[in-house]
Structure 1
């Protein structure tokens, strides 16, 4: 009887596993539109550096150095600083 069961099990065709068919997806590309172009970002960053530097100079000259805030951005003040740095005074 066991031979018959084994024999009948062998006669049944084995079901092959069906290969899974890949689901076809439409490839959509994500395109991001920049609100601010890169060249404008670079200019904005440079302007922010200049503004931050000017604010730092005014703060340093008026608060730390105890001078007038308006004198910090005058050309005569910078000439004097450059003369000191170059050793002319």
Structure 2
């Protein structure tokens, strides 16, 4: 049998972003390996970025609400007694 590749196979590889290596037994796993690593890195980055953005949004909201809207000092924003007082006001019977 003839091990030559059809032109349509080469065209499909070019369209899919794969290089036609010219070797009849070329493995596709070699080409797919970097994509898996990039996806895994992206997942790790997203797992750290989302909670980081949530914490930054919480701190920004506290600062904006307490300092800008409430006209209080910035040093009191992260004081536990301030937020204990707010919790007592919200959940008071």
TM-score (norm 1): 0.60
SS of equivalent to 2:38: coil
CA RMSD of aligned residues (A): 2.4
Which has more helix, going by share of residues?
Answer: 2
Counterpart-to-counterpart distance in 2, 1:53 and 1:46: 10
Alignment of 1:17-32 (within 5 A): 23-26=7-10, 27=13, 28=18, 31=32, 32=35
Per the TM alignment, residue 72 of structure 1 is displaced from its structure 2 partner at its CA by 1.1
Deviation, structure 1 residue 24: 4.8
Aligned to 1:78: 83
Q: How many residues align?
A: 67
The match for 1:56 is: 61
> Where does the alignment leave 5 or more consecutive residues of structure 2 unmatched?
1-5, 19-27
Is 1:34 matched up with 2:38?
yes
Once the two structures are overlaid, the 10-residue window that deviates more, 28-37 or 76-85, is 28-37
SS at match of 1:87: coil
- When Rg is computed on C-alpha atoms for both structures, the one with the higher figure is 1
Cα shift at 1:58:
0.7
Unaligned runs of 5+ in 1: 1-21
Partners in 1 of 2:89 and 2:7 — Cα distance? Answer: 75
1:32-73 C-alpha deviation (Å, 9 max, x unpaired): 242733133122111111112101111110110000112111
